[in-house]
């Protein structure tokens, strides 16, 4: 089926819906999403959204900008970080006006809490910057934005999965191809402008806080169409996932006063970050946990440590962290009011992704040349405000600030430009992919390959990496790629074929993994979340630059682009 | 431990009516029902079809009948169910395939109550003020993840056209928000014959809600509000 819209947004999480809200009523816009919008993973975000409102103590956008740059180990593009920190304030107020139910101060203003790496006066001590709604901030963002989109009468195509992106030979974006999951039918969406807002790819790892649907679809599709990916080696592990399950226990636990303890009961962060302690940035805390475990100070010599909330007043736990309390009770049968909680780092957030400028335009090279009509925002994009390590609460604000900017730029673009003709047989690639998977009579099971992929990524591209490990990983990925061509699925039906969906998603995960492995192997230094045991120091002389990796006919090709530095010269990162 | 799952199956391309199939799987007692379903799908029978995403009870994808009760498969542990588990799709909706039902009528009910903040007064430069006490009035109903466990558990919903508890919960969320100005229009919708008065206070909905929302209580508050505004 053929559809024509001025603007098509792929993804109905925070980034996609924020953009949709800018376009609705102003032009003809459609949102397509493989999940019902309210099922998007933005809804799982817990702790907060950063903005220097200064409602409970002095704060300034420039302090927020500084923390973002330092937290990102100076790989952040500072022009983008300045936009983020300045516009965060206005974006939060806009959310409030749309009905966001923030927790309030006694005088009725938006309340704020502490979060890792957010400081007053350029690092002096923690500051209350995270606006929140209990520990369901992401749920409330998703609800508020979906409600706003309904109010503005956005057209939704729910449970439609994008399979391909349409670019002309001279590099203009003309639309997307998507499959209606319920019927298996392919739909061609002809558009003047397309926004990719498809979220992250945590499912490349075995232990992750990410949803089963977080499979990097948009990132992989862009990569397949020749668009380079930026900084893919920077993948964040959040320190506090529920042991073995990976379910996140928000940093808000520590923001409210929670403490990490090793098997001996010691508050080990005193040794690693004497000023910010448990609220040091995530890359440092995750490494510290593993260092404790390696030194035999995990609990009972095993690979986990404790999160201790038992000293907090029970009413703080019940009222400010109700969902987390519920997770711990449901999945562990423990009571955070009196029990220690077993935690381990969990794969959480992709700092890298599809490169964009501050208006969300996807750029194709080191000179930031934009692709006409193609935009990206949210976790699938890399503007780069998170650099080598994202601070807590900075993703949700990234979604609303850059989702909004992308939406606004798209509006101007669709007003000034006409439809480009579609390529001939626009859906041939998507059709071939679906038919191939349905008909292939191999011997490999999708789930087996996926489990091996996740295991290998966890071992060799996790918190600690080495050159040898990454080479071994690349070999494994090559093997998995070959075996992927020999899959067989049981389900040959067209109706709601989730096995087909999972097989397609595995292909996307493989693409993401290959980009991560090659980028990580090339970067011979340690910075933020990318820690090379064979190159343990940061090396600004050689590596203060963004990685770009592209799939070409000759294989994967790496290039680099400079980091934008405006206000803050790179310094050593101590907390 | 070994458990047997008896699962209702239906594929409109090949089946004229639903039937049951049994699967036996080896699981940990602390596994979720969703883990068992995934295990079957991944390693035994790829045709078994259900929705899922977050796997920890926050996205609302995997509402289904588990031993006769509406629950999220990712929020029930095997050890709380024992070795024989029956799984069926939610009642009252068209079955698309296996455990996947057509949610569109459910979202239509949701849209019918105007589930968004309405306030045409020009907003202040900064946030609108709201005291913690005002905020607390609608805290409970902001937790809704639109999973449909409540609505699909309501006997009135199975037989009669009506808004259902989830839509009313979401109306409550705005009716009791001090910033909203559309109470009159919303109450008029809820006061119609397919509105709140269909509820017989049977409490099935409250029991079913995986988010612990006091659903029946919210419905009662809305009823009282209608009566109060009318007098
Ligand atoms: C457990 C958890 C807690 C978090 N807590 C916080 C926090 O407190 N503060 C913070 O700042 N950040 C937090 N984060 C990070 C943040 O929530 C995410 O980075 C962010 O929500 C991603 O939003 P998004 O809009 O980019 O994507 P998502 O919300 O993941 O949405 C992706 C959308 O794309 C759609 N989609 C994907 N692929 C396709 C396809 N092929 N075709 C069609 N549609 C597709 C999906 O259906 C979905 O609608 C947390 C993350 C997790 C996992
Ligand atoms: S209390 Fe009302 S809404 Fe809830 S199940 Fe009973 S009749 Fe239905
Ligand atoms: S009120 Fe509870 S059961 Fe009903 S839809 Fe909302 S979360 Fe689900
Ligand atoms: S999978 Fe999200 S609620 Fe169960």
The burial class, CB within 10 Å (0-12 / 13-18 / 19+), for A28 is: middle
- Please, where in chain B does CATH 1.10.1060.10 lie? 101-227
Give me the percent of chain A exceeding a pLDDT of 70.
100
B1-99 CATH fold: Ubiquitin-like (UB roll) (3.10.20)
Nearest ligand to residue B216 Cα: 2
Which string of DSSP letters, residue by residue, matches A551-568? EETTEEEEEEEEPP-SS-
pTM above 0.90, yes or no: yes
The string of DSSP letters for A383-431 reads -SSSTTSPPTTHHHHHHHHHHHHHHHHHHHHHHH-PPPPPPSSTTHHHH
pLDDT in tens, A421-446: 999 899 999 999 999 999 999 999 99
pLDDT value for A75? 98
CATH number of the domain where residue A317 is located: 3.90.700.10
Q: pLDDT, tens digit, for every residue of B126-177?
A: 999 999 999 999 999 999 999 999 999 999 999 988 999 999 999 999 999 9
Q: How far is the CA of A263 from the centre of ligand 3 (A)?
A: 40
Q: What is the mean pLDDT of residues A470-498?
A: 98
* Segment A452-479 mean pLDDT: 97
Residue A116 has pLDDT above 90, yes or no: no
Evaluate whether B186 touches B116 at the Cβ level (below 8 Å): no
User: Which of A25, A39, A493, A497 to probe the B interface (max B CBs under 10 A)?
Assistant: A39
Model pLDDT, residue A387: 97
Ligand 4 centre distance from Cα of residue B61 (Å): 5
A513 is in an annotated binding site: no
Task: Specify the pLDDT at position A276.
Answer: 87
Nearest-CB residue to A494 (from B13, B138, B180):
B13
Q: Where are the beta strands (DSSP E) in B27-82?
A: 63-66, 69-72
Give the closest ligand to the alpha carbon of residue B145.
Answer: 3
Q: What is the pLDDT of residues A128-186, one digit of tens each?
A: 999 999 999 999 999 999 999 999 999 999 999 999 999 999 999 999 999 999 999 99
CA distances from A432 to A435, A497, B137 (A): 5, 16, 54
CA angle A544, A545, A550 (to 5 degrees): 155
- Smallest Cα distance from A353 to chain B, Å: 21
Give dist(CA A242, CA A346) in Å, integer: 8
- For chain B, residues classed under CATH 3.10.20.30 are 1-99
Q: Which residue has a Cα nearest atom 3 of ligand 3?
A: B209
Residue A338 has a pLDDT of 95
Of the candidates A180, A274, A267, A80, the residue with the CA atom closest to the CA atom of residue A501: A180
Show which of residues 166-225 on chain B sit within 8 Å of chain A, judged by CB atoms: 174, 177, 179-180, 212
Quick one: pLDDT at residue B82?
87
Return d(Cα B47, Cα B44) in angstroms, integer.
9
The answer to whether residue B201 scores a pLDDT higher than 90 is no
A92 Cβ contact partners less than 8 Å away, ≥ 6 residues apart = A49, A51, A53, A110, A131, A397, A400, B127
- Whether B96 has a pLDDT exceeding 90, the answer reads yes
pLDDT value of residue B25: 97
Confidence category of residue A61, pLDDT binned at 50, 70, 90: very high
- Asked if B50 reaches chain A (Cβ–Cβ under 8 Å), the answer is yes
Structure token pair of residue A189:
């969406």
**Structure tokens, A572:** 């050593």
- Contact between residue A214 and residue B59 where contact means Cβ atoms under 8 Å apart: no
The predicted model gives A481-503 an average pLDDT of 98
pLDDT of residue A88: 98
- The pLDDT tens digits of the residues spanning A377-425 come to 999 999 999 999 999 999 999 999 999 999 999 999 999 999 999 998 9
How does pLDDT run across A285-312, given as a tens digit for each residue? Answer: 999 999 999 999 999 989 999 999 999 9
Residue A286 belongs to a domain: yes
Q: What is the 3-class SS of B116-183, one letter each residue?
A: CCCCCCCCCCCCCCCCHHHHHHCCHHHHCCCCCCCHHHCHHHHHCCCCCHHHHHHHHHHHCCCCCCCH
Number of domains composing chain A: 2
Mean of the pLDDT values across residues A524-552? 97
Q: How far apart are CA B93 and CA B113, in angstroms?
A: 20
Residue A472's pLDDT is 98
Pair A436, A338 in one domain: no
Query: Looking at the complex, does the CB of residue B58 fall below 8 Å from at least one CB of chain A?
Result: yes
Pick the last residue of a domain from A315, A346, A377.
Answer: A346
Q: What per-residue confidence (pLDDT) applies to A110?
A: 98
The Cα A204–Cα A236 span in angstroms is: 12
Distance CA A128, CA B91 (A): 46
Integer Cα distance of A302 and A103 in angstroms: 38
Q: Is the pLDDT of residue B231 over 80?
A: no
At residue B35, does pLDDT exceed 80?
yes
Which residue of chain A is at minimal alpha-carbon distance from B130?
A108
CA dihedral A333, A338, A344, A346 (to 10 degrees): 70
What is the nearest CA distance from B200 to chain A, expressed in angstroms?
29
Residue A152's pLDDT is 96
Share of chain B above pLDDT 70, in %: 100
How close is the nearest chain B Cα to the Cα of A45, in Å? 10
Say what the pLDDT of residue B229 is: 85
Instruction: Identify the residue whose C-alpha is closest to ligand 3 atom 8.
Output: B147
Per-residue buried b or exposed e for B40-68, using 16+ beta carbons within 10 Å of the residue's own CB? bbbeeebbbbbbbbbbbbbbbbbbbbbbe
Evaluated on CA atoms A558, A452, A45, A393, the torsion sign reads negative
Alpha carbons within 13 angstroms on the beta-carbon side of residue B201 total 7
Q: Of all protein residues, whose CA lies closest to atom 4 belonging to ligand 2? A: B205
Distances (CA, A) of A197 to A20, A349, A351, B123: 11, 15, 14, 29
- Asked if B47 lies within 8 A of A327 by C-beta distance, the reply is no
Instruction: Tell me if B209 CB under 6 Å of ligand 3.
Output: yes
Residue A175, CA distances (Å) to A6, A413, B53, B231 in order: 10, 14, 27, 56
Confidence (pLDDT) at A151 = 96
Distance CA B104, CA A189 (A): 22
CATH number of B101-227: 1.10.1060.10
How many angstroms separate the alpha carbon of residue A199 from the centre of ligand 4? 17
Q: Is residue A326 part of a domain?
A: yes
Q: Hey, whose CA ends up nearest to atom 46 of ligand 1?
A: A11
What spacing in Å lies between the alpha carbon of A214 and ligand 3's midpoint?
A: 24
Find the CATH number of the domain harbouring A510.
Answer: 1.20.58.100
Structural domain that includes position A300 = 236-346
Average pLDDT, chain B: 96
Taking the CA of A346 as reference, the closest ligand is 1
Mean pLDDT over each residue of chain A, to the nearest integer: 96
Average pLDDT over residues A21-48: 96
pLDDT of A558 over the 80 cut: yes
Look at residue A383 and tell me if it is in a domain.
no
* pLDDT score recorded for residue A573: 87
């Amino acid at each position: 089926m053929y559809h024509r819209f001025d603007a098509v947004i792929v993804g109905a999480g925070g980034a996609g819906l924020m953009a949709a809200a800018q376009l609705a009523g102003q032009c003809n816009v459609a949102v397509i999403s493989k999940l019902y919008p309210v099922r998007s993973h933005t809804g799982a975000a817990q702790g907060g959204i950063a903005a220097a409102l200064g409602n409970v103590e002095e704060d300034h956008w420039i302090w927020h900008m500084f923390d973002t740059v330092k937290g990102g180990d100076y790989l952040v593009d500072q022009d983008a970080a300045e936009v983020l920190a300045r516009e965060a304030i206005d974006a939060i107020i806009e959310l409030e006006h749309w009905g966001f139910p923030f927790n309030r101060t006694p005088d009725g203003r938006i309340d704020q809490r502490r979060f890792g790496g957010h400081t007053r006066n350029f690092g002096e001590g923690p500051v209350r910057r995270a606006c929140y709604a209990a520990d369901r901030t992401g749920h409330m963002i998703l609800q508020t934005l979906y409600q706003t989109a309904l109010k503005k009468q956005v057209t939704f195509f729910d449970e439609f999965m994008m399979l391909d992106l349409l670019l002309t030979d001279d590099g203009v974006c003309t639309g997307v191809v998507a499959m209606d999951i319920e019927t298996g039918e392919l739909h061609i969406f002809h558009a003047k402008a397309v926004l990719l807002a498809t979220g992250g790819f945590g499912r490349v790892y075995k232990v992750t806080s990410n949803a089963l649907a977080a499979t990097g679809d948009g990132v992989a599709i862009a990569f397949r169409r020749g668009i380079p990916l930026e900084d893919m080696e920077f993948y964040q592990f959040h320190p506090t996932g529920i042991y073995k399950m990976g379910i996140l226990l928000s940093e808000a636990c520590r923001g409210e006063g929670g403490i990490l303890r090793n098997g001996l009961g010691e508050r080990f962060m005193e040794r690693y970050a004497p000023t910010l302690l448990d609220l040091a940035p995530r890359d440092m805390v995750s490494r510290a946990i593993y260092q404790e475990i390696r030194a035999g100070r995990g609990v009972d010599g095993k690979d986990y440590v404790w999160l201790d909330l038992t000293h907090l007043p029970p009413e703080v736990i019940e009222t400010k962290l109700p969902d987390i309390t519920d997770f711990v009770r449901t999945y562990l049968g423990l009571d955070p009011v009196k029990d220690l909680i077993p935690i381990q780092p969990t794969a959480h957030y992709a700092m890298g992704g599809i490169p964009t400028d501050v208006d969300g335009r996807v750029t194709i090279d080191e000179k930031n040349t934009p692709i006409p009509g193609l935009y990206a925002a949210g976790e699938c994009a890399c503007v780069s405000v998170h650099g080598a390590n994202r601070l807590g609460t900075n993703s949700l604000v990234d979604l609303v600030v850059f989702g909004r900017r992308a939406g606004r730029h798209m509006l101007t673009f669709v007003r000034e430009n006409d439809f480009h003709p579609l390529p001939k047989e626009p859906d041939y690639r998507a059709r071939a992919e679906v038919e191939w998977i349905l008909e292939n009579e191999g011997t490999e099971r999708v789930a087996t390959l996926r489990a091996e992929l996740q295991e290998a990524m966890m071992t060799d591209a996790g918190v600690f990496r080495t050159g040898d490990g990454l080479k071994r990983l690349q070999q494994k990925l090559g093997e998995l790629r070959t075996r992927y061509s020999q899959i067989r699925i049981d389900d040959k039906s067209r109706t709601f074929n989730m096995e087909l969906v999972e097989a397609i998603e595995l292909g996307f995960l493989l693409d993401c993994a290959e980009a991560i492995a090659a980028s990580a192997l090339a970067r011979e230094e340690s910075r933020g979340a990318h820690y090379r045991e064979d190159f343990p120091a940061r090396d600004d002389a050689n590596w203060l630059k963004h990685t770009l990796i592209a799939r070409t006919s000759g294989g994967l090709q790496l290039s680099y682009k400079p980091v934008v530095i405006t206000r803050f010269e790179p310094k050593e990162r101590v907390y | 431990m070994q458990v047997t799952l008896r699962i209702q199956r239906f594929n409109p391309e090949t089946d004229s009516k639903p039937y049951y199939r049994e699967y036996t799987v080896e699981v940990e007692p602390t596994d979720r029902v969703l883990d068992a379903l995934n295990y079957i799908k991944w390693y035994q029978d790829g045709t078994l079809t259900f929705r899922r995403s977050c796997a920890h009870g926050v996205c609302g994808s995997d509402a289904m009948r588990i031993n006769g009760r509406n629950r999220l498969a990712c929020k029930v542990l095997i050890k709380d169910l024992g070795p024989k588990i029956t799984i069926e799709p939610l009642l009252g909706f068209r079955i698309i395939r296996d455990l996947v039902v057509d949610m569109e009528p459910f979202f239509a009910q949701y849209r019918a109550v105007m589930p968004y903040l309405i306030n045409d007064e020009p907003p202040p430069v900064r946030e609108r003020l709201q005291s913690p006490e005002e905020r607390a009035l609608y805290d409970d109903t902001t937790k809704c993840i639109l999973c449909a466990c409540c609505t699909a558990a309501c006997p009135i919903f199975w037989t009669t056209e009506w808004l259902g508890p989830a839509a009313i919960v979401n109306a409550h969320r705005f009716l009791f928000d001090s910033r909203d100005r559309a109470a009159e229009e919303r109450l008029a919708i809820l006061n119609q014959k397919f509105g709140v008065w269909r509820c017989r206070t049977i409490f099935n909905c409250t029991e079913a809600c995986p988010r612990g929302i006091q659903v029946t209580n919210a419905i009662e508050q809305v009823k009282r509000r209608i009566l109060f505004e009318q007098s």
